[in-house]
Structure 1
Amino acid sequence: MTFDKEQDMQRKLKVKPIAESYNSYVIEEKEKRDWSGNIYLGFVAAILAIAFFT
């Protein structure tokens, strides 16, 4: 991850209080997955499989 580029990503946060504690919270962050690396890897694997079996 590079810090010189500004990202326009909305962060979805859930703040939940911890049961039976004073002033303690759990923060859950949901983020969209970046599928570009997996898609690229899948195409490379498919091309290598086709080349191997032909």
Structure 2
Amino acid sequence: MISDKEVESERNLKLKPIAGSYNSYSVNEKEKRDWSGNIYLGCVAAILAIAFFT
């Protein structure tokens, strides 16, 4: 739905006009990295290493 109200968004978007085009923009969205999967994998690897060497 299109309205005249401006809505605050939590997404960090950067619009950049595309050279040589008419009303075309490149949308770059920067996301925060989710480290929880990597931390979980690191803990599992540490537990397996401890179990292997003991």
Question: Which category of TM-score, normalised to the shorter sequence, fits these structures?
Answer: 0.7 to 0.9
**Structure 2: gaps of 5 or more residues:** 1-8
Taking only the aligned residue pairs, the percentage that are identical comes to 80
Tell me which residue corresponds to 1:49.
49
Residue deviations 1:8-48, cap 9 Å, x none? x8210000000011111000000101111110110010010
SS at match of 1:39: helix
Instruction: Give the structure-2-normalised TM-score.
Output: 0.78
RMSD: 1.3
SS at match of 2:20: coil
Which portions of structure 1, spanning 4 or more consecutive aligned residues, are displaced by more than 4 angstroms? Answer: none
**Structure 1: gaps of 5 or more residues:** 1-8
Structure 1 or 2, whichever has the larger Rg, is: 2
Tell me which residue corresponds to 1:6.
none
